Chain A
Amino acid sequence: AQSVSQHNHHVILSEAASLELGCNYSYGGTVNLFWYVQYPGQHLQLLLKYFSGDPLVKGIKGFEAEFIKSKFSFNLRKPSVQWSDTAEYFCAVNAPGGGNKLTFGTGTQLKVEL
Chain B
Amino acid sequence: DVKVTQSSRYLVKRTGEKVFLECVQDMDHENMFWYRQDPGLGLRLIYFSYDVKMKEKGDIPEGYSVSREKKERFSLILESASTNQTSMYLCASSSQGPRYEQYFGPGTRLTVT
**Per-residue interface assignment for chain B, residues 75 to 101, with 1 indicating a CB less than 8 Å from any chain A CB and 0 otherwise:** 000000000000000101010111111
Instruction: Count how many chain A residues have C-beta atoms less than 8 Å from C-beta atoms of the other chain.
Output: 25
Task: Report the bound CA distance from A6 to B58 in whole Å.
Answer: 21
- Closest chain-B Cβ to A27's Cβ sits at a distance in Å of 12
Contact A43:B106 (CB < 8 A) given known A90-B42, A101-B58, A106-B42: yes
Does A104 lie within 8 Å of B42, measured CB to CB? yes
Residue B31, interface by CB 8 Å: yes
Does A101 lie within 8 Å of B45, measured CB to CB? yes
- Closest chain-B Cβ to A103's Cβ sits at a distance in Å of 8
Task: Report the bound CA distance from A45 to B92 in whole Å.
Answer: 10
Residue B74, interface by CB 8 Å: no
- Closest chain-B Cβ to A23's Cβ sits at a distance in Å of 11
Report the nearest B residue to A96, measured CB to CB: B98
Does A101 lie within 8 Å of B48, measured CB to CB? yes
Residue B34, interface by CB 8 Å: no
Does A100 lie within 8 Å of B42, measured CB to CB? no
Residue A44, interface by CB 8 Å: yes
**Per-residue interface assignment for chain A, residues 96 to 114, with 1 indicating a CB less than 8 Å from any chain B CB and 0 otherwise:** 0011111111110000000
Report the nearest B residue to A45, measured CB to CB: B104
**Per-residue interface assignment for chain B, residues 45 to 63, with 1 indicating a CB less than 8 Å from any chain A CB and 0 otherwise:** 1001010000000100000
Top 9 closest pairs, chain A to chain B, by CB = A106-B42, A44-B104, A104-B43, A46-B101, A94-B98, A104-B42, A100-B31, A107-B42, A43-B104
Chain B residues proximal to chain A, CB less than 8 Å? 4, 31, 33, 35, 40-45, 48, 50, 58, 90, 92, 94, 96-102, 104-107
